[in-house]
Structure 1
Amino acid sequence: MIKKKILSDSKDAMQQALVAVKSGIPVATASRTYDVPRMTLYYKITGKYPEDRKMGPSTYLTLTEESGLVTWLLHMSKCSFPITKEQLLDSVQMIVKKLERKTPFADGRPGRHWYEAFLKRHHEVSQRMSQNLTSNRANVSEENIRLWFKKVETYLKDNKYFDIVSDPSRVFNTDETAFFLNPKGGKVLATRGEKAVYSRSGDEKECLTTLITGNAARDLTPPMIVFSYERIPSYISNSVPREWGIGKSEHGWMTGETFYMFITNIFHPWLKKIQIKLPVILFVDGHSSHLTLPLSEFCNKNDIILVALYPNATHILQPMDMAVFHALKSCWKKEVIKWRLLKGQEKLKKEHFAPLLR
């Protein structure tokens, strides 16, 4: 009787099991000894399966496609865009849909088992815990900010992009924000001594995510509004200006797919229409969850240079947060109040949103 061996590589185990069976060891014994599936071993011995076929289910992406994902993951990590598990799975989903490839994945998006197998196949990629700065947002130091500026400057100079920053029309920033359909009311006039004054406004928590993008020359691109519908009703889509973007997601949040749609269908065509010189720089949130492989490939091909803002410092560095959103939301609140007065306190609905925001 042969001694059972502990093997870390299932392919090596199967090969040794095959050798054992060919030397006269029963299939069942070899299966137990080398810890390989008995029927798979039997089918290989009888010729039903080729001997050099890998154990386990076949991969649904080719070697070239998976190598492209690995290259992208490692490159983005070096560029201060560490990719999360969700972003990787979003990228695979977009690739599968684009190729119209049949897979057992729900809606083309792989799950935990594919993800774990992917990491086993590619040992150069490891799952690491990114440095958690969120709770220490107030502790972002001047030194860190200056180091970030220096790193970006070096990157732009090394790639012959630094001259772009001297042209404000070619330097862009994008960020998303939520607009409440029925924002809280401000101070009002009422009977002296009244303890509580109420204003009928509908659900004050209902909001729509909107992506706002502009450059340092004060040009705004058409925005994108994200709705929480599988199929957006025509009365809502028809209310959105034709040149604006319309996205949809389960929760009404910006996703990798909706952000890709914005860049490919709104932002890039707008650059060409306005005849802005390429390449351009687009500063995005350093912790953005919207980056996918198809987006990176599109941007590289079409001269859109993505640069990550320093994480957890948007309250210092994010131009949209610093100079646009506060003023925009203040005006939005005033316009909603005017609209209610004209409509007799009617609740603002989603079909009213885009015309009023415009």
Structure 2
Amino acid sequence: MPTNYKRKSNRQSWTAQQLEQAIKAVKSGSPVKTAARSYAIPRSTLIRHLTSSTVSTRLGPIDSVFNSQQEEELVKHLLDLEKKFYGITMTNVRKLAFDLAEKNGLPHPFNKSTKIAGKAWLSNFLKRNPKLSFRKPEATSAARARGFNKPAVSAFYDLLEEALKDPKLTPDRVLNADETSVCTVPPKKSKVAALKGKKQLGGITSAERGETATAVMCMSATEQHRPPFFIFLRMRMHEALKKGASRGSKFACNASGYMTVEIFNEWFDHFLEHVKPSEDSPALLIIDGHSSHTKNLAFTEKARANFVKVLVLPPHTSNKLQPLDVSFMASFKTYYAQEVERFLQQNPGIVVSQYDVAELMKPAFIKAATTEIAENGFEKTGIWPFDRNIFSDDDFAPATVTDQPDPEVLREEETFRLHLEGAPSQSTVNRISCEDKEVQVLPEDIMADFAEPDSISTANNPVFEISPSIILPLPKKVTPRENAKQKRQLT
């Protein structure tokens, strides 16, 4: 079957609705010729359908393996897998299609020796379901998938809502701070003009890996962006490192180039210098849970003394809840990479070093520090304007893979199950009733658990007898108790 079939005639240019209307007109007394002309249907076609009991609009001898309802269920299952970060590849989709056809007893032209559907089927399947596509996923750690869950996020919004009740907290006093790495060899490269079909393209860089520094950014829910704070990987500060930096920037250095408790206290002094919180104009600072922030008594006491409320994000949620990560950092790093490329093109033979970082960061910071980016970051996280329902159930879907039930709920369910096991069966109840003896009738909701399959409504049954979720179940981590059982069985 051709992948991109092109019709060679204009046969069946009418729709099923036109055909039904023409048949209805003839049955109402209209001549066949007149009805055929009125609804643009060939007369022979109309006569053929008048003598048959069905209305068919299919061309050709080949049927689709799955009907539209079955394909809709398959698409839904594929999207559910993707929502949980366990999406499957093209090859696995083709294998799943073969298993579905085989286990449901559907006639199909798939290769039974390789046990996989053909590429032509997949291509046509995607055309029939345009909302489905194959994309390269972004790598997301299991900790992030597990950490962004409803209880943790709800607890954060509870604290945020309580803090925002203070009428003195205006949008310009709600701030977010975060660190990011700045390398002399940015990981992003812009596209360049090159010969089409060339296998490998080269682009000049300063080194194989480059030197890394840390920049601390801070922005409010309005357009206000505070000057950056730099941390360099060196033991002594040199004035040349400050060349070309943004006005108001501060600098520090240490043996790791990363944030420490001591340097974070220096940054907080820098923060107080520019924000100037007071009793009449307090500030709310939202930060992540890095140890230099949370295990820092001096910072906590200084924040309390200077009318700064501190709100810490839940672990592994900064990619969703931190405004700087949501809107600012990606744009800033793109602009910084462009500045590095421009520098290398304008200075052939010269490489970017630590002494050029602050100067190259300045234009990138100015481009990224816009009102739109700041407002979008706080709005998309539901911080300002406050919206605790900004995230849907689909956003929390990856966390459900590792959700574990409450042990207390499990104990209650186990007690209820044992109670039901001692209850009389349906047949026993009927027999006792026939003998006119006193019986104990179970509640209707409990009796429903004992109902026969035939008595259950089939309105919600899947269109497949064996659904995709049975062949390829949605991922779910087993409970620790089940793991222990498995270990005992192995031994």
Fold-level similarity (TM above 0.5): yes
Structure 1 length normalisation: TM-score? Answer: 0.56
2:145 is aligned to 138
After superposition, the Cα gap between the structure-2 partners of 1:307 and 1:347, relative to the gap in structure 1 and judged at 3 Å, is: same
2:282 is aligned to 279
Following superposition of structure 1 onto structure 2, how do residues 312-351 of structure 1 map, counting pairs within 5 Å? Answer: 312-344=316-348, 346-351=350-355
Q: Distance in 2 between matches of 1:205 and 1:190?
A: 26
Query: In structure 2, what residue type is equivalent to 1:325?
Result: M
**Structure 1 residue ranges without an equivalent (≥5):** 1-133
Matched, 1:202 2:209: no
* Equivalent in 300, 307, 322 of residue 303 of structure 1: 307
Shift of 1:312: 1.0
Q: Distance in 2 between matches of 1:344 and 1:275?
A: 51
After superposition, the Cα gap between the structure-2 partners of 1:270 and 1:228, relative to the gap in structure 1 and judged at 3 Å, is: same
After superposition, the Cα gap between the structure-2 partners of 1:276 and 1:261, relative to the gap in structure 1 and judged at 3 Å, is: same
Paired residues of 1:278 and 1:304 also in contact (CA < 8 A): no
Report SS of the residue matched to 1:251: coil
Paired residues of 2:173 and 2:220 also in contact (CA < 8 A): yes
Paired residues of 1:153 and 1:162 also in contact (CA < 8 A): no
Paired residues of 2:229 and 2:267 also in contact (CA < 8 A): yes
2:292 is aligned to 289
After superposition, the Cα gap between the structure-2 partners of 1:284 and 1:151, relative to the gap in structure 1 and judged at 3 Å, is: same
Q: Distance in 2 between matches of 1:345 and 1:136?
A: 43
Q: Distance in 1 between matches of 2:292 and 2:262?
A: 11
Q: Distance in 1 between matches of 2:160 and 2:309?
A: 11
1:251 is aligned to 256
Identical positions, percent: 24
Q: Distance in 1 between matches of 2:315 and 2:168?
A: 23
Report SS of the residue matched to 1:270: helix
Paired residues of 1:254 and 1:290 also in contact (CA < 8 A): no
Structure 2 length normalisation: TM-score? Answer: 0.41
Shift of 1:315: 1.1
**Structure 2 residue ranges without an equivalent (≥5):** 1-140, 363-491
How many residues align structurally?
218
Shift of 1:306: 1.0
Q: Distance in 1 between matches of 2:349 and 2:153?
A: 47
Q: Distance in 2 between matches of 1:314 and 1:278?
A: 27
Q: Which has the larger radius of gyration?
A: 2
Shift of 1:192: 4.6
Q: Distance in 2 between matches of 1:231 and 1:180?
A: 19
Moved beyond 6 Å, runs of 4+? none
Shift of 1:250: 0.9
Query: In structure 2, what residue type is equivalent to 1:257?
Result: E
After superposition, the Cα gap between the structure-2 partners of 1:276 and 1:244, relative to the gap in structure 1 and judged at 3 Å, is: farther
Shift of 1:217: 1.0
Shift of 1:317: 0.2
* Equivalent in 169, 172, 181 of residue 169 of structure 1: 172
2:386 is aligned to none
Cα RMSD after superposing both structures: 2.4
2:369 is aligned to none
* Equivalent in 196, 217, 226 of residue 231 of structure 2: 226
Query: In structure 1, what residue type is equivalent to 2:229?
Result: M
Matched, 1:153 2:158: no
Report SS of the residue matched to 1:173: strand
